[in-house]
Amino acid sequence: MKIEDLFIGADVARSKPLIYFAILLFGMAKEIPISGFVNCSYRKVAVRECQPDISFYIGDIAHLAPKGKSVVNLDEQAIPNLVVEISNTTINNDLGAKRFLYEEMGVSEYWIVDVQNTLIYAFEIIDRGSRRVDNSLVLPNLSIATITEALNRSKETDQAQVGQWLMSQFQG
């Protein structure tokens, strides 16, 4: 790992709140219960620990979102059903080792946001494996292409304008 990999650049720092906001906004527009976390630490004893950039408890499990000051013990508490990693220089690790980790943990859906290429890889986790999806399964009718377009727009305009565009997409 290079020293540069330890720092968070502007593209990642801009993308993380945008993705978080877009998912919350979709939940609000579609009246889907949702509880989100940024950099929350999770532990599953037989697997290991992780700290995804963004994680969500959506729909029927939104009320099971953890509370407290310590690392979330996934052997005792609900597993988030959507995990998102924002990737700049770690794309290969996010597509490989981290994807396997989230498969082992039992996450329902895993997104990798590639900020260098403005791409989102979305995976449905199935029986300790995964397959790519174009539409979220935990957020019904949310097209990954819409979130990708929001990322593209964020390179040309401010986040408030991107948010207004997202609202028009989600309410339409």
User: What whole-number distance in Å separates Cα of residue 68 and Cα of residue 10?
Assistant: 30
Both tokens of 67, joined, read 């509370």
Helices (H), the chain: 10-29, 91-95, 97-105, 144-154, 159-171
pLDDT tens profile 35-69 = 999 999 999 888 789 999 999 999 999 999 999 88
Q: What is the largest CA-CA distance in the chain?
A: 45
Instruction: State the average pLDDT over residues 137-154.
Output: 96
Q: Say yes or no to pLDDT of 4 above 70.
A: no
Fold (CATH) for 3-171: tt1808, chain A (3.90.1570)
pLDDT band at 21 (very low <50, low <70, confident <90, very high): very high
User: What whole-number distance in Å separates Cα of residue 81 and Cα of residue 91?
Assistant: 21
User: What whole-number distance in Å separates Cα of residue 152 and Cα of residue 52?
Assistant: 23
Please state the pTM of the whole predicted model.
0.91
